[in-house]
Amino acid sequence: MSKNKKNYPWLNTRPNSAKSLIEKAKREVPEFREHYAKFEEQVTIGGYSSSTLFNYSRAVAKISLHFKKSLLDLDPDEVNQFLYLIAKEKSASSTYFKHTVYGLRFFFRLYDLEDRIIKLPSVRNEQKLPVVLSRQELKRLFAAPFYLKQRVLFALIYSAGLRVGEVCRLKINDIDSDRMTIRIIKSKGKTDRYVPLSRYALQGLRKYIKSAKPRTYLFNGKVKGDPLGKSAVQQSFRLAVKKAGINKDVSVHSLRHTYATHLLEEGVDIVTIQGLLGQCQD
């Protein structure tokens, strides 16, 4: 364990522990409860996603707990000290660093502290080539899970280029087998779109629906009638990747990148691909 992780275990937190961290900040940091309420109000009014509220609040909670005081009482040197701590921690992702900077900017705008915003560092977007699976690797991946539900789930994500949140929110009536389309409602950017439904995926879906008998959502969560959770999909994917013997640094989102790459290799133009992916700005 690195020195920073030992001294500051909050640097890397999983979703459940991150929620606990926010609650801890509400209890222990002066004014944090009021800050969070204002965050929630403005995020809702602005039409931001719940993940934006969570990521920004988590970042603000961490820096508040680190200094044990309100962000309004922090001086610029303390903010820079905290950002430096994150930047040099090897296990802290660039995404978390960005969330911290964006969260601080959002916070300072809430309190009309524009002068504090200017002093925050700019965030550069890292342009990394996405990891793509071969067709042979896909076959092994789709065959790896023991449960039909997971095999169909992964095949559907790939064949339609879906985001994890999109497939979790799919409802039974979003599948149109007559038109061979899938309706995606209020995805990233609050937009709707239709994507093609492959015959291979439809065959699997029919077997799955006949067996699982889902109610409202296409893929059941722990309780029938509730949507499947993102973390459950990600955990199942990691196990399938390991079982399939795939030695690439991939995530569920890699299926989406693989879908786009395979379409490009087949000669589909980039504008059409972006439309199918819902702008592909992720």
Query: pLDDT value at position 12?
Result: 46
Under 8 Å between Cβ of 140 and 250: no
Q: Which of 271, 256, 40 is nearest to 131 (CA)?
A: 256
Query: pLDDT value at position 9?
Result: 44
Query: pLDDT value at position 5?
Result: 46
Query: pLDDT value at position 38?
Result: 87
189 phi-psi bin (left φ>0, alpha ψ -120 to 50, beta other): left
Which amino acid is located at 252 in the chain?
V
Query: pLDDT value at position 77?
Result: 84
Q: Could you state, in chain order, the average pLDDT of each consecutive group of 10 residues for the chain (282 residues)?
A: 45 56 88 87 76 82 89 86 78 73 86 74 67 92 94 94 91 92 77 88 92 89 84 92 92 91 83 74 46
Query: pLDDT value at position 281?
Result: 45
**Which CATH superfamily is 135-277 part of?**
Intergrase catalytic core (1.10.443.10)
170 phi-psi bin (left φ>0, alpha ψ -120 to 50, beta other): beta
Residue 140: both structure tokens together:
């092994």
Order of all β-strands in the sheet with 181-184 = 175-176, 181-184, 193-196
Looking at the chain, the domain(s) classified CATH 1.10.443.10 span: 135-277
